[in-house]
Structure 1
Amino acid sequence: MRHFLDFEKPIAELEGKLEELRRTTDAGGLDLHEEIEKLRDKAEKLLAATYAKLTPWQKAQVARHPERPKCLHYVEALIEDWTPLAGDRAFGEDAAIISGLGRFRGRPVAVLGTEKGHDTETRVKHNFGMAKPEGYRKARRIMQLAGRFNLPILSFVDTSGAFPGIEAEARGQAEAIARSIEAGLEAPVPFVATIIGEGGSGGAIALATADRVLMLEHAIYSVISPEGCASILWRDATLAPQAAEALKLTAEDLKRLALIDTVITEPLGGAHRDTAATLASVGDAVAAALDPLLKLDGPTLKARRRDKFLEMGRSAVA
């Protein structure tokens, strides 16, 4: 059964009635095909109207939808000959960050991503996509490995942020994130990052200091979650909708501010309504972003990437 968000309740009611009519017809009762077509058309129009005017807070809810495709869905669909790599060679393995080698449309690549999990068991296994220092040190190791063997880097970001527990701080969380960011900036190979769900704070930037940053239409990308922002500024997490508005965390806002490069259109109703179409669209967008980068040498890539992120800072100050 499909999971509906709070603002989708009118859509849920119409689709529920539509399903009842279908069951009645399939059971050999009345011929209700005409009524089904009218109701389907009404439901589609309501879905289109609702998603045409989503607020930033509603987009945050869509980005967190439990049925939204996760990092491993993209790996399975887009990467051939997948070989996962584990461990940071210093402390241990962190399942919140997926890493490995494979082929993207025939080309060898290194892949990184944050994995939230899709059910209770996998969410606990992957710590809800919140990485610890060893995860970011693993990411740094893979980026350096990619540079050594001239492999383009692809990353898929979906995290509410780095793990905030005391053990992570004790093991150097901030330093690990900073080193991962540094490794991304210094990689002498093409680097394409895609925000597929949530892009939360330094935990996201650690895997997104890329030549090209792509973002799905209903994903979010921000220095802090709306709830965290509201709690800090107003001491009231229920003001998250207002915080989401102020944070400018939608793909449209970030494209206008030149903080991302490309917005990838999602199927009507969000990525979770047509996973196959979403995966295909992301694959095409990644390929389009990667192709021109392959023509550039390492020093040029590094210099352009550095200038790109320095310009973001200059624009923010201005």
Structure 2
Amino acid sequence: MNPTIKRLEKEIKLLKKDNLDTSHLEKSLGILKQEIKSKMSAWDHVQMARDLNRYNTKEVIASLFDDFIELHGDRYFGDDKAIYGGIAFLGSLPVTVIGINKGTHTQDNIEANFGMVHPEGYRKTLRLMKQAEKFNRPIITFINTPGAYPGVEAEERGQGEAIAQNLMQMMELSVPTISIILGEAGSGGALALAVTDQVWMLENAIYCILSPEGFASILLKDASKASDAAESMKITSKDMLQHGIVDEIIYEDKDFEEVTHYMKQRLITELDSLSKLKSHRLKKLRYDRFRKFGDVIHEH
């Protein structure tokens, strides 16, 4: 978030605590936000999506759900700290919650591998999803990753196969699924948690096949042209909604509590609607949702 906006929001909160009239300041803040938003480039969105102070997976989960119990391990190799998942209540509804965790401070970042998931993380994700299906719990995923970890050890443990299994198995889940992109959503590492009935995206998040730096290096032969690449890649939430890749943009023009409250109400409403569908209908709609992307690519 823009530092000027953050400072003004903080000052308005302090004034409100003293029961002072802040309507004029709030009006000015709204105008400032709209002005800044109208001038934002795709590269500005990239920087905001990567901001260490933006929406954190663990904080969002703590705000949305009650009685969260974390579950660990893939039952094959180990526990990947980049995946934070378990069971919780959304209001009175039991759900399975899975998020990609980047970490909040240096040691946490290192333990979570900066949100770059290993194959055991994707296998943990799939284990929790199959458990949710067994107990008829809806699944909600939160995505914030530059991409799956590309290291040799990850490839040796079957990174590509683990992602492919998630893509295939998620398509066949018989329970409602919703994914929310909080920050970065890079390549197959993000898609492995996003083959869901609905995909939502925070306003300043990005969704891309690879990083703008990688795109610029490969196609423009110059990583320093990443800002130009970001414009042509069409990776912002507005681009994604326009092309039907995501179903809803969650705007960030309110404070954290107000945004997560809206998110919670939307989740309750949509899961209630999706839960009324028969499993075969749910699968068919999910299949059709993703099948249409092939038609879009063919048209372009």
The reply to whether TM is greater than 0.5 is: yes
Confirm whether residue 294 of structure 1 aligns to residue 275 of structure 2.
Answer: yes
Residue 285 of structure 1 aligns to which amino acid in structure 2? R
Distance in 2, Cα, partners of 1:284 & 1:248: 29
Partner of 1:281: 262
Percent identity (aligned)? 40
Distance in 1, Cα, partners of 2:25 & 2:274: 48
Distance in 1, Cα, partners of 2:7 & 2:86: 41
Q: Deviations over 1:55-81 (max 9, x none)?
A: 111011111111112111111111111
Shift of 1:305: 0.6
Task: Indicate conservation of the 8 Å contact 2:199/2:247, yes or no.
Answer: yes
* 3-state SS of paired residue (1:128): helix
Residue 306 of structure 1 aligns to which amino acid in structure 2? Y
Partner of 2:99: 113
Partner of 1:50: 36
Aligned Cα root-mean-square deviation (Å): 2.4
Task: Indicate conservation of the 8 Å contact 1:267/1:277, yes or no.
Answer: no
* 3-state SS of paired residue (1:101): strand
Shift of 1:39: 8.9
Partner of 1:226: 212
Confirm whether residue 212 of structure 1 aligns to residue 198 of structure 2.
Answer: yes
Task: Give the counterpart of 1:122 among 96, 102, 108.
Answer: 108
Confirm whether residue 97 of structure 1 aligns to residue 83 of structure 2.
Answer: yes
* 3-state SS of paired residue (1:218): coil
Q: 1:195 to 1:87 in 2, by over 3 A?
A: same
Confirm whether residue 62 of structure 1 aligns to residue 43 of structure 2.
Answer: no
Task: Indicate conservation of the 8 Å contact 2:33/2:253, yes or no.
Answer: no
Confirm whether residue 170 of structure 1 aligns to residue 139 of structure 2.
Answer: no
Confirm whether residue 151 of structure 1 aligns to residue 137 of structure 2.
Answer: yes
Shift of 1:42: 6.2
Distance in 1, Cα, partners of 2:263 & 2:191: 19
Partner of 1:246: 232
Residue ranges of structure 1 left out of the alignment (5+ in a row)? 23-32, 269-273
Task: Indicate conservation of the 8 Å contact 1:83/1:100, yes or no.
Answer: yes
* 3-state SS of paired residue (1:260): coil
Partner of 1:271: none
Higher CA-based Rg:
1
Distance in 1, Cα, partners of 2:136 & 2:26: 51
Residue ranges of structure 2 left out of the alignment (5+ in a row)? 15-19
Shift of 1:43: 6.5
Q: 1:37 to 1:297 in 2, by over 3 A?
A: closer
Task: Give the counterpart of 1:255 among 234, 238, 241.
Answer: 241
* 3-state SS of paired residue (2:294): helix
TM-score of the superposition, structure 2-length normalised? 0.90
Task: Give the counterpart of 1:80 among 33, 57, 66.
Answer: 66
Shift of 1:275: 1.8
Distance in 1, Cα, partners of 2:39 & 2:246: 21
Task: Indicate conservation of the 8 Å contact 1:96/1:128, yes or no.
Answer: yes
Distance in 2, Cα, partners of 1:82 & 1:125: 21
Task: Give the counterpart of 1:235 among 211, 214, 221.
Answer: 221
Structure 1, 56-65 or 46-55: larger mean CA deviation: 46-55
